[in-house]
Structure 1
Amino acid sequence: MLTLPMLALLLPASPADDPPPVPEPRGYVASRAPGPITIDGLLDDPGWEGIPWTETFVDIEGDVKPLPRFQTRAKMAWDDRFFYIAADLEEPHVWGTLTEHDSVIFRDNDFEVFIDPDGDNHQYYEFEINALNTGWDLRLVKPYRDGGPALNEWEIPGLKTAVHVRGTLNDSSDEDDGWSVEIAMPWSVLSEFTAMPCPPRDGDRWRVNFSRVEWLHRVVDGTYQKVPDRREDNWVWSPQGVIDMHRPERWGDVQFSTAPPGTVAFQPDPARPARDFLHRVYEAQKSYHREHGRFAESFEELGIDPAGWTSPQLETTGDGYTASVIAPGEEGEPPRRWTIRQDSLLTSGPAS
């Protein structure tokens, strides 16, 4: 289990209440790898041929902050055994200190992966890696804002990772070009806490995001040291709007495809507006409960107008509430009722 100091490092640095409007999430089509991928960090395998890069990473808070100093991009592919992730990180000084598995890797510069297979905000995975190829894998039962916990004992048997440094690692006497990462996550492990098929079916969607932690440094006696009293930069693929990666509802939307790379266009999730509306209700209920000591029993009490939504419902329960609306289904599928509760669990079922 995580110790209290470790948990303190993981908790959001920004207030969790009343966040700014949700940034538009990124979308990506993850194709089957057209050939084999060898996990060596070089990204030159036939399996990456034609696989597109994501958009260049931005600050975790989005457009309200300047663009990152260094470029970061990622790409995704898959086959019957693995979900493949690659990243390229521009970096003039590649350095790292942590060599023990399951260290708190973001104390170094790092690259991080977040995966919520069924997009319900609960039971999601996190993996962090530094330039020394040291990893930290953990599972979140639910977000920290909803009480966690993080399970540090969770492991990824069969995980493959590699790092390639374009330069000299931990050598402050020169400048480097950067470093690249390859990760192969076995479907057998990713399937443990989801009902989603692993590997995915053509058209399935998962919630995924990537983060890069970058510390300002100085050189002291030839070694890299963090600049004192300066917090880290957080650069991400899909902006969160707040300094908190543990808001799965704001992660990117990865659409899996069996078609050749580049032949399928990303299709926005037709339920995304309904999901965003329900998270607005969730945030409003948190504020209402803090002020009144109970959850609101109607949209009107929350000051939210549900007009325009199909069959909106808000009901209090013994320990909280549920709020729901009906949203369109995927192409060719019937509408579904989406429901959120007080711990941000988001589920869907047949419309009724």
Structure 2
Amino acid sequence: MSGTAAEQRVVVASLLVVGALALAGCQEVKEPTTTLTQAQWEEVKQQILEAPPEKVRFSSGAQFGGAIELIGLDVQPEKPKPGQEITLTWYWRCLEETPVNWQIFVHFDNNGPPPMRQGMDHHPVRDLYQTTRWKKGQIIKDVQKVRVRNDYPGGAAEFWVGLWNPANGKRMEVSNQDKVKHDGQGRVLVGKVQMDAPPSKKATASKKSRPKVYMARQIGADSPITIDGKLDDAAWKKAARTGRFGGTGGGAGPPGNNWAKLLYDEQNLYIGLYGDDDDVWGDLTERDSDTWTQEVFEIFIDPDGDQKDYIELQITPRNTVFDARFPVKLGKGSGSREEQINAARAWNSSMETAVDIDGTLNNPDDKDISWSVEAKIPFSDIPGGAPKPGSSWKINLYRFDAPRKDGKPQRQVAWSWTPAYGFFHNIEHFGTLRFMGQRGPVEVKPVTTPSKADPGDKPDPTDESGVEPDRPE
């Protein structure tokens, strides 16, 4: 860590102490266990209320574990539409302090037919004020903005909510079950809204261009991964697969099937990448060559999304690696663009990579099928180090397909469909990677009542909208 960075952290810490003293005139706020900027700390203070709202659209009173009470929920607009951004305002009361960093899970369920669920999990106050920081008696206003899936069906849709521990996958028990509607599995029904029917597929095709979310599962020593590029280990077979990569300017993009899978353990992040390709080629052999000029997969990781201190990793079909670490967003550093790139690629990662080709490399006379990449990235290479279960990072994944037979331009696709706008370093448009800890598959079956749930009802597993987290295959 540079001296400048250390000095900045000292300044931020001092500001936080001042901010905490300023709260003496209102409710006391527990000092965060992680460093917040002054602006973030001010945002947190504004969400701690002196009293509950006089009126709330959906009153609840549900209590979880005797420690947290849901006062109610406001939803705007009153009648949401598919593809529309909605604002959910949750009001919580801390009954008892808790040592557990509980995450709020929200299921937006339409019981069909066909049934549909959209997950809206989050930590309170934009991940800034986790439950371990709450003080007894505090009332927390938690504003959440979510875009409804483009293909969400019309009709009645229900908001179910609960709290779960990402470290072990366990849900917080509803402690006043006799006073609220619940499903016996830690979920409480908060309210119901009427959804307009979705527009036609043609009308929504151009709107599927927004950041995506991927939920990565943690694996243990009993699920080893061999870095050979084949993605055939048992852990990979159980992992969720992203939806098909889309155009870097929005929309479906060029033809072809490109996707990724992500896993992690205590020391490493594992990324598997797959792409169709009828002519797999590459002639760059030196590390840190200009790999983006040919066929390549790219990985961008900025854990805190602040557009500072992030890494870019690239792997070609020849397993030639480009790795760079940027202190600030490319274009905002000192020197020319080329000078900034050269300074960044002087850094070398310790990641392990492998490539598997279904076909032959550099043979334009035959027809190949695909190529895939396996990358094992130590958390020690990544700014901030290993993540905690329930935390989120900003990342993006790209594929460049460079035809050489017909002289056509390079085809570019991305996992998170909104990122480029002409520049792949636009971190503010990256997708979100959530670390879910060691837990089993998420049960996605909607429940009408605990006693009459139809075991055959399952929501549509398709995730092309980018709002619903990708599901296991």
Quote the Cα distance in structure 2 between the aligned partners of 1:163 and 1:211.
Answer: 16
Q: CA deviation at 1:47?
A: 2.3
* 1:144 counterpart residue number: 330
> Out of 337, 354, 375, which is 1:162 matched to?
354
1:39/1:145 CA distance change after superposition, 3 Å? same
Quote the Cα distance in structure 1 between the aligned partners of 2:410 and 2:433.
Answer: 27
Name the SS for the 2:405 alignment partner.
strand
- Give yes or no for contact 1:29–1:264 (8 Å, CA) kept in 2: no
Letter paired with 1:213: F
Structure 2: runs of 5 or more not aligned: 1-206, 335-339, 445-473
* 1:245 counterpart residue number: 424
> Out of 152, 155, 175, which is 2:367 matched to?
175
Structure 1: runs of 5 or more not aligned: 1-20, 220-226, 266-352
Quote the Cα distance in structure 2 between the aligned partners of 1:204 and 1:248.
Answer: 18
- Give yes or no for contact 1:32–1:261 (8 Å, CA) kept in 2: no
Name the SS for the 2:281 alignment partner.
coil
> Out of 223, 233, 242, which is 1:45 matched to?
233
> Out of 314, 325, 333, which is 1:128 matched to?
314
Quote the Cα distance in structure 2 between the aligned partners of 1:202 and 1:186.
Answer: 17
Quote the Cα distance in structure 1 between the aligned partners of 2:404 and 2:440.
Answer: 39
* 2:405 counterpart residue number: 218
The residue correspondences of 1:82-121 to structure 2 (distance < 5 A) are 82-121=268-307
* 2:254 counterpart residue number: 68
Aligned residues: 229
Q: CA deviation at 1:140?
A: 1.3
* 1:202 counterpart residue number: 389
Larger radius of gyration: 2
Quote the Cα distance in structure 1 between the aligned partners of 2:260 and 2:267.
Answer: 20
Q: Deviations over 1:255-281 (max 9, x none)?
A: 10113353288xxxxxxxxxxxxxxxx
Quote the Cα distance in structure 1 between the aligned partners of 2:227 and 2:395.
Answer: 21
* 2:442 counterpart residue number: 263
- Give yes or no for contact 1:51–1:262 (8 Å, CA) kept in 2: no
Quote the Cα distance in structure 1 between the aligned partners of 2:432 and 2:282.
Answer: 31
**TM-score of the aligned structures, taking structure 2 as reference length:** 0.46
Quote the Cα distance in structure 1 between the aligned partners of 2:349 and 2:230.
Answer: 22
- Give yes or no for contact 2:276–2:370 (8 Å, CA) kept in 1: yes
Q: CA deviation at 1:55?
A: 1.1
**TM-score of the aligned structures, taking structure 1 as reference length:** 0.61
Q: CA deviation at 1:218?
A: 1.4
- Give yes or no for contact 2:364–2:405 (8 Å, CA) kept in 1: no
Q: Deviations over 1:33-53 (max 9, x none)?
A: 251101001111122131011
Q: CA deviation at 1:81?
A: 1.6
* 2:264 counterpart residue number: 78
Quote the Cα distance in structure 2 between the aligned partners of 1:184 and 1:216.
Answer: 28
Name the SS for the 1:141 alignment partner.
strand
- Give yes or no for contact 2:279–2:403 (8 Å, CA) kept in 1: no
- Give yes or no for contact 1:156–1:189 (8 Å, CA) kept in 2: yes
Quote the Cα distance in structure 1 between the aligned partners of 2:420 and 2:288.
Answer: 28
Quote the Cα distance in structure 2 between the aligned partners of 1:249 and 1:60.
Answer: 14
Letter paired with 2:426: R
Quote the Cα distance in structure 1 between the aligned partners of 2:378 and 2:425.
Answer: 23
1:260/1:50 CA distance change after superposition, 3 Å? farther
Q: CA deviation at 1:199?
A: 2.2
Q: CA deviation at 1:84?
A: 0.2
- Give yes or no for contact 1:203–1:255 (8 Å, CA) kept in 2: yes
Q: CA deviation at 1:241?
A: 5.0
Quote the Cα distance in structure 2 between the aligned partners of 1:168 and 1:232.
Answer: 20
Q: CA deviation at 1:145?
A: 3.6
Quote the Cα distance in structure 2 between the aligned partners of 1:172 and 1:103.
Answer: 23
> Out of 189, 212, 227, which is 2:381 matched to?
189
Quote the Cα distance in structure 2 between the aligned partners of 1:37 and 1:206.
Answer: 22
Quote the Cα distance in structure 1 between the aligned partners of 2:265 and 2:327.
Answer: 27
Letter paired with 1:242: Y
Quote the Cα distance in structure 1 between the aligned partners of 2:256 and 2:276.
Answer: 5
Quote the Cα distance in structure 1 between the aligned partners of 2:422 and 2:246.
Answer: 12
Quote the Cα distance in structure 1 between the aligned partners of 2:318 and 2:248.
Answer: 24
- Give yes or no for contact 1:50–1:261 (8 Å, CA) kept in 2: no
Quote the Cα distance in structure 1 between the aligned partners of 2:410 and 2:318.
Answer: 19
Name the SS for the 2:238 alignment partner.
coil
Q: CA deviation at 1:119?
A: 1.4
RMSD between superposed Cα atoms in Å: 2.2
Q: Which has the higher contact order (CA 8 A, sep 6+)?
A: 1
* 1:8 counterpart residue number: none
- Give yes or no for contact 1:25–1:251 (8 Å, CA) kept in 2: yes
Quote the Cα distance in structure 2 between the aligned partners of 1:105 and 1:36.
Answer: 30
The residue correspondences of 1:2-21 to structure 2 (distance < 5 A) are none
Residue 235 (str. 1) matches residue 413 (str. 2): yes
